[in-house]
A and B are shown apart, each in its own frame.
Chain A
């Protein structure tokens, strides 16, 4: 068996990961199906959102179950690939899937009402999440987690301990979900960051990845004790392995930021052009509503409604 074949066969089927991802997929799919059958799903859920959510879950599996995960204890660059997949691809794709409504509709009416209470504006759970997804808080958390876990003693501690390693993954993925929330804003409520501000919001994270990646790539000695003892496979010594990992963060991570940046620029331009992408009939409806609003008889249209429509 060649090395490549051995690599491709090295899957790590951890039951808890498969169960967690399967559960998320089941809830989304069940809610999607029920909404579609009520005749409203097609209006709320476009197919591309489901594809994004599925893509996010597949990326989680790719990061944590595929040969990339199996080799993360042997190669630093595999571990870096795993993290890039989780924070730069899986997290934004899951938010692009706008999982709130379909997940809610996976439950029966009573449970939906209960969950609606739980996530109400004045509920502590809501307040905590609202605070954590403030742009400043989310960005700071993301950058701190990124730098913190690459500090050699912490990184080595994570490699040496199964539980700490899982905690590392949990924090990377969790902070990435918080970080991407203000950019993607999957709730559909009023954006806390305009498209222009979201572009500026991405730059500190991009620079943080750039600094860290460049530091690892240009280093003259390996920083991490764990990989000093790793066997030399495929001609990679510990320093070369670290430099390759740094390049992945520096170049691949940097390139991946271009996609949301471009998307935000396009969204901003469309907005400035007067929503030319919105069908004429819809814009006509909006204009009528605006006139009604000016006349003083318009209802509030923000997301502060005490009875979420999705719970009804």
Chain B
């Protein structure tokens, strides 16, 4: 059996057979493709996951893993999500609070409870911060009874920023502890907002293209003697 090329068929016959009209501008397929592609490229909404900051650190009877998002951390909304596992697997019954404290500069420290409602991944609990000041920040994750005991952190703190565990309130009934990590939060730029960037770049291009090509098309229509659309 020899491979053969498809036969040329008139547009009318193609229509009769349910085939697409060959005289249609074939590259228009790029439009829906673009719509989907833009969606793929522009989506930077925060979701849980991102970078593992603390990997399976033991805190009392639990093992805690902490993710941060976005990567790298930028001013604006920051998501800290926590997975707590016990011997039976992931558990969301353990109370968790997260504090964000600036290091070496004056800014308001923030305390947020981590909840499952804020978590995209329902095995996790997430806390969302609105960090407005760039610089080094320490994020402390208070687990179990330590979460309830977590008070307002001091506004200025100078600490060793290594990741570690700090068991606290290790009562038998409700053990708890604290894990922490530090990270540099950079200043957000327009590159972190691709939707806005696309609009700022795309709109002038669209307008320019419309003016140039639209006029060109009208000129051609006039030259051909066709009425303008």
Contact = CB atoms under 8 A, between A and B. Distances in A.
Interface of A: 1, 3, 5-7, 9-12, 14-21, 23-24, 27-28, 40, 43-46, 53, 57, 60, 64, 70-74, 94-95, 98-101, 103-104, 109-110, 113-120, 125-126, 129-130, 160-163, 166-167, 169-170, 173-174, 177, 181, 186-191, 194-197, 199, 226, 229-233, 268-269, 271-272, 278-279, 282, 285-286, 289, 301-303, 305, 307-311
Contact of A115 (B23, B28, B35, B123): B28
Contact of A308 (B24, B51, B72): B24
A246 B104 CA distance: 46
Contacts of B129: none
Closest 7 CB pairs of A and B: A20-B39, A196-B3, A187-B26, A188-B20, A73-B49, A310-B24, A119-B25
A43 B213 contact: no
A309 B24 contact: yes
Given A104-B28, A166-B44, A309 B39 contact: no
B67 interface: yes
Interface residues of B, number: 80
B85 A301 contact: no
A1 B122 contact: yes
Contacts of B120: 10-12, 70
A135 B123 CA distance: 44
Contacts of B45: 14-16
B90 A3 contact: yes
Contacts of A269: 1
A188 B71 contact: no
7 contacts: A101-B21, A160-B71, A162-B50, A162-B69, A188-B21, A229-B52, A302-B8
A117 B213 contact: yes
B212 to A, nearest CB: 11
B32 A28 contact: yes
A71 B121 contact: yes
Interface stretch (B10-18, B164-172, B180-188): B10-18
B40 interface: yes
Nearest to A300: B8
Nearest to A115: B28
B144 to A, nearest CB: 18
Interface of B: 1-11, 13-33, 35-45, 47-52, 55-56, 63, 65, 67, 69-72, 83, 85, 89-90, 92, 120-123, 191-192, 194-195, 209-210, 213-214, 216-217, 220-221, 229
A16 B195 contact: yes
Contact of B2 (A177, A196, A309): A196
Describe A's contact surface by its main secondary structure: helix
Contacts of B20: 44, 98, 100-101, 186-188
A182 to B, nearest CB: 12
A194 to B, nearest CB: 4
Contact of A188 (B22, B40, B123, B221): B22
B39 A188 contact: no
Contacts of B90: 3, 6, 233
B153 to A, nearest CB: 27
Contacts of B71: 160-162
Contacts of A301: 8-11, 22
A17 B40 contact: yes
Nearest to B81: A73
Contacts of B70: 162
Contacts of A226: 52
Given A98-B20, A162-B70, 4 more contacts: A10-B121, A117-B220, A166-B42, A188-B22
